[in-house]
Amino acid sequence: MKKFILTLSAFMVVGIFSMATAQIKTPAASPSAKTTQTVGLTDVTVEYSRPSVKGRTIFGGLVPYGEMWRTGANKNTMVTFSAPVKIGGKDLKAGSYAIFTVPGQTEWEVIFYTDTENWGVPENWDATKEAVRMKVKADKMDFNIESFMIDLGDLTNESFTLGIGWEKTWLNIPVKLTTDEVVTASITKVMNGPSGDDFYAAGRYYFDSGKDLNKAYEWIHKSNEMDGKDAKFWKLRQESLVLAALGKYKDATAVAEKSLKLAVEAKNKDYERMNTESIAEWKKKM
Q: What is the 3-state secondary structure (H, E, C) of the chain?
A: CHHHHHHHHHHHHHHHHHHHHHCCCCCCCCCEEEEEEEECCEEEEEEEECCECCCCCCECCCECCCCCECCCCCECCEEEECCCEEECCEEECCEEEEEEEECCCCEEEEEEECCCCCECCCCCCCHHHEEEEEEEECEEEEEEEEEEEEEEECCCCCEEEEEEEEEEEEEEEEEEECHHHHHHHHHHHHHCCCCHHHHHHHHHHHHHCCCCHHHHHHHHHHHHHHHHHHCCHHHHHHHHHHHHHCCCHHHHHHHHHHHHHHHHHHCCHHHHHHHHHHHHHHHHHC
Segments of the chain scoring below 70 in pLDDT? 1-22
Give the residue extent of every domain in the chain: 27-181, 194-285
Q: Quote the pLDDT of residue 44.
A: 97
Q: Quote the pLDDT of residue 22.
A: 60
Q: Quote the pLDDT of residue 8.
A: 45
Q: Quote the pLDDT of residue 5.
A: 47
Q: Quote the pLDDT of residue 12.
A: 52
Q: Quote the pLDDT of residue 27.
A: 83
Measured between alpha carbons, how far apart are the two ends of the chain, in Å? 97
Say what the pTM is: 0.66
CATH architecture of 194-285: Alpha Horseshoe (1.25)
Q: Quote the pLDDT of residue 23.
A: 85
pLDDT, tens only, 24-38 = 888 888 888 999 999
Q: Quote the pLDDT of residue 188.
A: 87
